[in-house]
Amino acid sequence: MIAPSILSADFARLAEETALVAGTGPDDPARADWLHVDVMDAHFVPNLTLGLPVVESLLRATDIPVDCHLMIENPGRWAPGYAEAGAYNVTIHAEATDDPRAVARDIRAAGGKAGLAIKPGTDFEPYIEILRDFDTLLVMSVEPGFGGQKFIPEVLGKVRAARKLVDAGELKVLVEIDGGINLDTVEQASEAGVDCFVAGSAVYSAGDPAAAVRTLRERAADASPHLHLTR
């Protein structure tokens, strides 16, 4: 799955930017599987982006499932609102709360899938049990806060560990990676067992965002040892 991040899109033209990666129908390989929306609060990360009102407008403007990545403090206060609004997947940061399971429960009760994100320096093992209450594991491959940073390959050990547990049936999460994914890095991430690839600058700084989605998907599928990718 490919999830373009609108962080690198033109914020004054979000509906048009979204339409660029909507393809011609569900089977179009240039269609984004998820639309990744980075919510930053200038506290959990040193950057400020957008919040619920913009996500609500975006949900009315697209039929692509919206994947909200909340880089915010106190996610328990805000995360369920995104699910209620209709976001498909709502991801919170493990480092931002003492009780991720409670937040996951509230997201699910509000009708969303629940995701847990871990920063590059955060270990995966302490969260294995907790992830039983989540649908998505988001492995950050850059420090959260900004688009256009360089991929940190060391995080792929966490992807491999998660993949192993998922393939063994011990965990049921979709493994997502975010940060520095482009044509040079998507293959190593796919080899490690990623299911869903977030790409911001690689899609929206490309001359043809739809072609970028298609090419990323092809590269990822070619490199996938287990053919996790469906298209």
160, burial (CB in 10 Å: exposed 0-12, middle 13-18, buried 19+) = middle
Measured between alpha carbons, how far is 9 from 171 in angstroms, rounded to an integer? 34
Quick one: how far is CA 203 from the chain centroid?
14
Measured between alpha carbons, how far is 11 from 41 in angstroms, rounded to an integer? 16
> What is the nearest approach in angstroms of ligand DX5 to the Cβ of residue 184?
12
> What is the nearest approach in angstroms of ligand DX5 to the Cβ of residue 151?
8
Q: Which residue is nearest to ligand DX5 (CB)?
A: 200
Q: Is 98 a catalytic residue?
A: no
Q: Which residues bind ligand DX5 (CB under 6 A)?
A: 5, 7-8, 36, 38, 69, 142, 144-149, 178-181, 198-202
Q: Does 176 engage in binding with Zn ion (CB under 5 A)?
A: no
Measured between alpha carbons, how far is 211 from 207 in angstroms, rounded to an integer? 9
Of positions 6, 9, 34, 69, contacts Zn ion by CB under 5 A: 69
> What is the nearest approach in angstroms of ligand DX5 to the Cβ of residue 99?
23
Of positions 178, 182, 199, 216, contacts Zn ion by CB under 5 A: 178
Q: Is 38 a catalytic residue?
A: yes
Catalytic option among 33, 38, 106, 135: 38
85-144 residues in contact with Zn ion (CB under 5 A) are none
Give the end-to-end CA distance of the chain in Å, rounded to a whole number: 8
What is the phi/psi pair of residue 118, to 5°? -125, 135
> What is the nearest approach in angstroms of ligand DX5 to the Cβ of residue 171?
22
Q: Does 33 engage in binding with Zn ion (CB under 5 A)?
A: no
Size of the site for Zn ion (CB under 5 A): 3
76, burial (CB in 10 Å: exposed 0-12, middle 13-18, buried 19+) = middle
Query: What residues make contact with Zn ion under the rule CB under 5 A?
Result: 38, 69, 178
